[in-house]
Amino acid sequence: MILIADGGSTKTTWCLVDAHGARSFFATEGYNPEFISTAGIVASLRQNLPVTLAPAAISKVHYYGASVVSPPQVATVAEAMQAVFSQAQVFVGHDLLAAARALLGRQPGFAAILGTGTNSCVYDGERVAHNVDSLGYFLGDEGSGAFLGKALLCDYLRGQMPAALEASFRSTYGLDREAIFDQLYNQPFPNRFIASFAKFAADHYQVSYCQQLVAESFDAFFRKIITKYPAYQTHTFNCVGSVGYHFRDALTQAATAHGMTVGKIISAPIDDLVSYHLTTDR
């Protein structure tokens, strides 16, 4: 049996594939090594894996995760996976590679992630050939849930939201300045907290303020990141992630405005990623 995982900063989606190719899915929290240790991942997995799953029966684990880039980050996750799935061959890679494999298979092209965070690449059919750094939610991540959430929070705290929308925001979340800053600076996973407010923009998308906020976010994504790829307009724009999928009409408009033809936009990569691995792992 093999396990394939798509690990975002907020949630990890897993697929267990048995010897007959049957798939079963489950979810755990996200394991971004910027915010959680090996011991934390191990504890979470042991608590949240389905009780029917026997870790010792797993022969291979393919884990793709957010911020799994540098050797120490890879080691943080790989050591946790090996500790839990002790009999398995463990592969740990970046979620950008998962996105490219899900969107493009073994064909070269362009792939992007627009979820809690943002990433993008030119893919050569096997590996990520070129990447413009999104710089994370502190400095960049234009187009992401975190970028949208940060804009919403700034306008809310500065009193720059439309009055009716501000009242709705206050009644929905019940947060004052002190509570917001406590979450940002004293509590774990501030990126998840910020990105959670993207849902508010989706729930109130009929309001022109939210439409403009989303449009400006995607325009910044293209101006600051996508247009920095050489000959970017020769590629089809392919994207995975909840933010890109839920706002796909606005995303398509932004891509078109910057001279790119839109290809595949999907919410999550797991189904296509499993299909990719089943061609080699069975």
Q: What is the pLDDT of residues 140-190, one digit of tens each?
A: 899 999 999 999 999 999 999 999 999 999 999 999 999 999 999 998 888
Closest CA to 63 of 34, 37, 43, 85: 85
Q: Span 191-215, mean pLDDT?
A: 94
Report pLDDT digits (tens) over 95-137. Answer: 899 999 999 999 999 999 999 889 999 999 999 999 999 988 8
CA Rg, the chain, in Å?
A: 19
Domains detected in the chain: 2-99+270-281 (3.30.420.40)
Q: What is the C-alpha separation between 5 and 86, in angstroms, rounded?
A: 17
Query: How many CB atoms neighbour CB 125 within 10 A?
Result: 13
27-83 confidence digits (pLDDT tens): 998 888 888 899 999 999 998 888 888 888 899 999 998 888 888 999 999 999 999
| Percent of residues, the chain, with pLDDT higher than 90 | 70
List the structure tokens of 189. Answer: 């996973």
Contact 38, 80 (CB under 8 A): yes
Q: Which tokens in the block code for residue 13?
A: 């989606």
Q: Which two tokens stand for residue 134?
A: 């999104």
End-to-end CA distance of the chain: 9
Amino acid at 236: T
Q: Average per-residue pLDDT in the chain?
A: 91
Question: DSSP character for 88?
Answer: S
Task: Give the per-residue pLDDT at 199.
Answer: 93
Q: Which of 46, 47, 48, 98 is nearest to 68 (CA)?
A: 98
> Using CA atoms, how far apart are residues 266 and 276, in angstroms rounded to an integer?
15
Residue ranges with strand state E in the chain: 2-7, 11-17, 23-29, 60-65, 89-94, 109-114, 118-123, 128-130, 236-240, 261-266
Given this model, what pLDDT does residue 136 score? 83
H-helix or E-strand spanning residue 152: helix 145-157
Q: Whole-model pTM?
A: 0.83
- Asked whether the predicted pLDDT for residue 7 surpasses 50, the reply is yes
Strand, helix or coil at 19?
coil
pLDDT at 194: 92
- Phi and psi dihedrals of 122, rounded to 5? -100, 130
Query: 95 vs 281, which has greater pLDDT?
Result: 95
DSSP 8-state symbol, 109: E
